[in-house]
Amino acid sequence: MFASVFTSGLLMSIAGAAITSIAKPSYEDFVSNGESSLVLFTADGCAACDTTVKELEQTQLDLGVIIGEVNCAEEPDICDENRIFTVPTLMLSVGDGTMVKYRDRLSSLSITPFMKRQSGQAVTEVAGLEGEDFQNPTSITVVALLEADDAVSRATFDTVATKLRAHYAFMVCTDRSTANLEGVNLPSIIVYKPFDERKVIHADIFSPKAIEDFLRKVTTPLIQEMDPEVYDSLIEVGKPVAFIFTNSLDDKYNLAEQLYPLANQTKDDLTFLSVNVNDYPKIGQSLGLGDKITRGFAIEDVRTTRAYPLLVDTLSLDAMKAFVQQFLSNSLSPVIKSDPVLKLSSQSSSLATLVGSNFEDYVMDRSKDILVEFCVPWYDYCSDLQKVMDSLGQKYAQFNLSNKVALATIDVSTNDVPVRITGYPTLILFRAGDNKAVHFDGTFFELLSEEQLASFISANSMNEVVIPLGEPEQSSILDDSPVGKDEL
């Protein structure tokens, strides 16, 4: 059944086809009442949100289902809890506090049948596979082809369907002639989907785990859609990411269809990711495409964060194909955002100021252990820490150790670096000898002292330099030649 009406106000909302506004005090009751319901996450001034509300009002009239709306400007905590990155976002509440993101079209024609599937039996019986849902699928449908008396396989399929009904439509067909027409043995599963290969068959082990693993694999699009969680998972995988930028759903689907053969051909080397520039306006800029793109293509090496934008007046399939081949053959150079280079000899402090274009040359000096602060200019802690680092650098100079240890800073808001930075400041020691990057994993609740920085350098450096801070005039050098030391 659909969400029960728990106040007279909600009854009036359904009667008037108005979406129910949800605030923090009523949110938990709304999503934990034991019934399926929908929650739309919106924000002020979002035209697409207004359009989606009208579509949902139609669904509410058609089904009598309660639909709630959370304004992220008014209820940021709820949106943070649900990891809402763009609006409008529609989620299904299964009634126990679990929320599942709705990923189909935001149209009543798609939302209404989706909600119908959440009530009653998880599996629908069909006589054959000739309908429009199978010939031209607009959503993912999972069909089990079974013998009519195969109770074990039916129970297995029902178990999977009950667990995953919020994600896919599940159907069963026991017509043997249909199986013969499809050329499959029984039991088998056919997945129909509106992307990539339109029909995929599973004729292997018929167990809940095997079926779930199969569904997880074949329902992940070859060209995925940008979402911070998806992007984080791609970083973990480590393959370069090819970004496709569009500003409309029609253009997105059109480009994805054109690029599918290329994405399939290069899937072992690249991951393709579709980005709506209206939802993520800064990604294209960070990849060197500028801030006014409506269509574009760029590749990021996620291991080094280096960007390779395709800089053309008109984006074409041939241009993208050629660009991908050039990237895979290592014949492209990254575009590196950089401030003007400051002559290091003219810098008066003992803290070098680096920029994007000279960063690698400086930190890859294998003769020195180099501590780098990755910073932004608007955070006072960063500038305060630079003063501490400058003072420490002067002490290394006083002990004639500048040829063994160096300290530097770089503004990552205006300079690209081949390191993924997720917070400010970030401190990394690039060791002499092997250039291994050692991250400082301490806290920044209080301003770090010279002693703390010197201790971090001493414990992780290759040159094993120790200076007696606040003490006399001579350094204690454990060894003049670089000696390896295990990272703490």
pLDDT digits (tens, 9 = 90+) for 325-369: 999 999 999 999 999 998 755 566 799 999 999 999 999 999 999
Of 421, 414, 432, the residue nearest 483 (C-alpha): 432
Cβ neighbours around 365 below 10 Å, total = 13
pLDDT value of residue 1: 41
Of 15, 26, 6, 112, the residue nearest 70 (C-alpha): 26
Contact 137, 131 (CB under 8 A): no
Architecture of the domain delimited by 123-218: 3-Layer(aba) Sandwich (3.40)
pLDDT value of residue 343: 73
Of 436, 338, 423, 414, the residue nearest 373 (C-alpha): 423
149 burial type by CB count under 10 A (0-12 exposed, 13-18 middle, 19+ buried): exposed
Q: How far is CA 363 from CA 58, 169, 353, 373, 405, in A?
A: 60, 54, 12, 12, 11
Q: Distance between CA 316 and CA 310 in Å, rounded?
A: 11
- Residue 41 phi/psi, 5-degree rounding, is -100, 125
Of 333, 339, 367, the residue nearest 353 (C-alpha): 339
Q: Per the structure block, which two tokens stand in for 102?
A: 């709705």
Radius of gyration of the chain (CA): 29
107 burial type by CB count under 10 A (0-12 exposed, 13-18 middle, 19+ buried): middle
pLDDT value of residue 449: 95
For the chain, the structural domain boundaries read 8-116, 123-218, 223-328, 344-477
Q: How far is CA 450 from CA 194, 405, 442, 447, in A?
A: 59, 14, 14, 10
Counted residue by residue, the chain has a size of: 488
List Cβ<8 Å contacts ≥24 apart for 384-388. Answer: 384/447, 385/425, 385/447, 385/448, 386/351, 388/447, 388/448, 388/449, 388/450, 388/453
- Residue 477 phi/psi, 5-degree rounding, is -100, 115
Q: Per the structure block, which two tokens stand in for 471?
A: 């003490």
Q: Distance between CA 149 and CA 210 in Å, rounded?
A: 22
Of 374, 390, 371, 401, the residue nearest 468 (C-alpha): 401
Fold of 223-328: Glutaredoxin (3.40.30)
Q: Would you write out the chain's pLDDT as a tens digit for each of its 488 residues? A: 444 433 334 444 444 457 889 999 999 999 998 888 999 999 999 999 999 999 999 888 888 888 999 999 999 999 999 999 899 999 999 888 899 999 888 888 889 888 988 888 999 999 999 888 798 888 899 999 999 999 999 999 999 999 999 899 999 999 999 999 999 999 999 999 988 889 999 999 999 999 999 999 999 999 999 988 899 989 999 999 999 999 998 899 899 999 999 999 999 999 999 999 999 999 999 999 998 899 999 999 999 999 999 999 999 999 999 999 999 999 999 999 999 998 755 566 799 999 999 999 999 999 999 999 999 999 999 999 999 999 999 999 999 999 999 999 999 999 999 999 989 999 999 999 999 999 999 888 899 999 999 999 999 999 878 887 754 344 433 344 333 333 32
Of 298, 363, 296, the residue nearest 332 (C-alpha): 298
pLDDT value of residue 135: 87
Contact 84, 40 (CB under 8 A): no
Q: Per CATH, is 344-477 categorized as 3.90.1530.10?
A: no
Of 300, 310, 252, 309, the residue nearest 276 (C-alpha): 252
Q: Distance between CA 444 and CA 65 in Å, rounded?
A: 49
Of 161, 149, 174, the residue nearest 123 (C-alpha): 161
Architecture of the domain delimited by 8-116: 3-Layer(aba) Sandwich (3.40)
Of 302, 327, 338, the residue nearest 414 (C-alpha): 338
| Domains 123-218 and 344-477 fall in the same CATH topology | yes
Sequence-distant (6+) residues with CB within 8 A of 338 are 355, 356, 357, 358, 414, 415, 416
Residue for token digits 């079926």? Answer: 211
Q: Per the structure block, which two tokens stand in for 121?
A: 């039996």
Of 292, 288, 317, 311, the residue nearest 300 (C-alpha): 288
Question: Can you give the pTM of this predicted structure?
Answer: 0.74
Contact 54, 27 (CB under 8 A): no
